[in-house]
Amino acid sequence: MEKQDKQDAGLRLYVAGGGCGGFQYGLAFDEKNEGDHIVEAYGVKVLVDEQSAEYLDGSEIDYVESVMGEGFMVNNPNAVETCGCGHSFKPK
């Protein structure tokens, strides 16, 4: 956030159609919109719109470093299938 001069922005987590599981996760720096759910963790505001919140309820976000690379991973209890890349899922 600091590198992109986005200190006042939040980290938006959203769900969009696509990916090999039918839905995929997205992350972007963004400003709060009306109706957003806001969770603050480790000094970062995470913004989730109402539609995405239905698919993400109970999810956990973690930053993972592995031999496959590094990045954010979503552990979603609402997913019945997750593709190998961890970026798309099939909901219940």
* DSSP H or E run through 41: strand 37-41
Number of domains in the chain: 1
Residue 1 in this model has a pLDDT that exceeds 90: no
Q: What is the pTM of this model?
A: 0.81
pLDDT of residue 68: 75
**Residue 43: pLDDT band with limits 50, 70, 90:** confident
Query: For residue 1, which of 36, 41, 21, 28 has the smallest C-alpha distance?
Result: 28
Percent of the chain whose predicted confidence (pLDDT) is above 90: 47
Q: Is 1 among the domain residues?
A: no
Q: Is 2 among the domain residues?
A: no
Which of 27-31, 33-37, 79-83 shows the lowest per-residue confidence on average (mean pLDDT)? 79-83
Range of the domain at 70: 10-91
Give per-residue pLDDT as tens, 58-69: 999 888 898 877
* Token pair belonging to 35: 């109706």
The enclosing domain of 35 has a CATH number of 2.60.300.12
